[in-house]
């Protein structure tokens, strides 16, 4: 047998007890008869939110994506070209 034997780090059964809490918790009483207290947020007036569907529709009509399709075709062709170059490079190196 080569090397030194190992020694245990802690004695079995010699674990120290966990520390006890040192702060006494405050006692709580029952809730008032009217129910839970209300928060200031619950008492605040609700915001007046209006729909923006008409504004969005008007914006879409003004700024239609007319140049998007040719741009997408050009990007697709470039991506196919890069893919072909990668495949040819891998075949030449492999």
The residue with tokens 């520390």 is: 19
Mean pLDDT of the chain: 78
pLDDT at 10: 64
Return the percentage of the chain with pLDDT > 70, whole number.
Answer: 68
Whole-number Å distance between alpha carbons of 82 and 17 = 66
Note the pLDDT tens digit of each residue in 52-93: 777 777 777 666 677 788 899 999 999 999 999 999 999 988
| C-alpha distances out from residue 49 to 30, 52, 56, 57, 92, Å | 39, 9, 15, 18, 63
Which pTM value belongs to this model?
A: 0.35
pLDDT at 42: 64
Over residues 7-35, the mean pLDDT reads 72
């Amino acid at each position: 047998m080569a090397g030194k034997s190992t020694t245990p780090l802690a004695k079995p059964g010699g674990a120290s007890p966990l520390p006890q809490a040192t702060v006494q918790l405050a006692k709580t009483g029952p809730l008032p008869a009217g129910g839970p207290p209300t928060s200031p947020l619950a008492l605040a007036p609700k915001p007046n939110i209006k729909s923006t569907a008409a504004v969005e529709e008007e914006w879409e009509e003004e700024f239609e994506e007319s140049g998007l399709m040719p741009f997408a075709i050009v990007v697709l062709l470039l991506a196919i070209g890069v893919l072909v170059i990668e495949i040819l490079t891998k075949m030449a190196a492999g």
